[in-house]
Structure 1
């Protein structure tokens, strides 16, 4: 029965399969079924204009699927590398290099620093309150700070 439907629909079978795969892509995470759907649509379009045996259509679909999957993965990887914010899940990394004034002293290498509406734990050399410090890095959720060398002497 399925074979009869496929034979009666002819090239339109590939269009239906392609649209079903694209619909599946919408519901499934990732970009896996997209490339199979596009390949099916290409085979269906080619089959509309050129008389191809069904065996050749299946082979063509397999080759196009593999090729488009590999090219698509490569493009997605390049796009992921060029876009996005690498420090998205590391809020403190955005503070590295910035200078702040200590509200509380750093005593025995430990202290706290208010930045906007957040209080951060800091580590660094002992410094009195009011010292300008530069964030040099992160140690987990703790900011590593040092006195700012550009700060005016005595303040």
Structure 2
């Protein structure tokens, strides 16, 4: 009997659960949501062995199959969650205001001015306009909002 066979024959339920916890720990040290799914597969193999003890060859095959399934399911879940929760404009706050209409509190002089939006004061560029004029945000140029007079 080889050393490999001796290790896996004595692995059992606790061995698979311990391997799963080690893989969860590896996920903490090397984040990327990849070790997590291998850990899930190891825990599931332990649960299966709790219900019905399997020979080591079947355990290895079951771990491989469950790893593939959990990685695919995990990637699908993370991609779906990312699109539902993610904020595509998180680091581009100015792009959120494109198309919105605001009223100038200060005039635009020599093509530049200031516009208060929510809790931020933005530098704006556009044609010279007096205070009280309604403007629409056309786009963002770096950290400045580009505006024009609203119709």
Q: Distance in 2 between matches of 1:129 and 1:101?
A: 5
Aligned-pair CA distance for 1:37: 0.6
Aligned-pair CA distance for 1:2: 8.2
Q: Conserved in 1, the CA contact under 8 Å of 2:16 and 2:42?
A: yes
1:68 aligns with 2:70: yes
SS of residue matched to 2:103: strand
Q: Conserved in 2, the CA contact under 8 Å of 1:15 and 1:40?
A: yes
| Matched residue, 1:99 | 102
Aligned-pair CA distance for 1:102: 4.7
- Unaligned 5+ runs, structure 1: 150-155
Aligned-pair CA distance for 1:119: 4.2
Number of equivalent positions: 147
Pick from 52, 55, 60 the counterpart of residue 54 of structure 2.
52
Q: Cα deviations across residues 13-65 of structure 1 (Å, max 9, x unaligned)?
A: 11110111122223332311111111001111112222322112111101110
Q: Cα deviations across residues 70-106 of structure 1 (Å, max 9, x unaligned)?
A: 1110110011001132211112123331313151324
Q: Give 1:5-20 correspondences, 5 Å limit.
A: 6-20=8-22
**Structure 1 length-normalised TM:** 0.80
1:67–1:8 CA distance, 2 compared to 1 (3 A): closer
Q: Conserved in 1, the CA contact under 8 Å of 2:108 and 2:126?
A: no
1:112 aligns with 2:113: yes
| Matched residue, 1:148 | 150
- Unaligned 5+ runs, structure 2: none
1:135 aligns with 2:144: no
SS of residue matched to 1:11: helix
1:112–1:119 CA distance, 2 compared to 1 (3 A): farther
| Matched residue, 2:34 | 32
Aligned-pair CA distance for 1:6: 4.9
**Structure 2 length-normalised TM:** 0.82
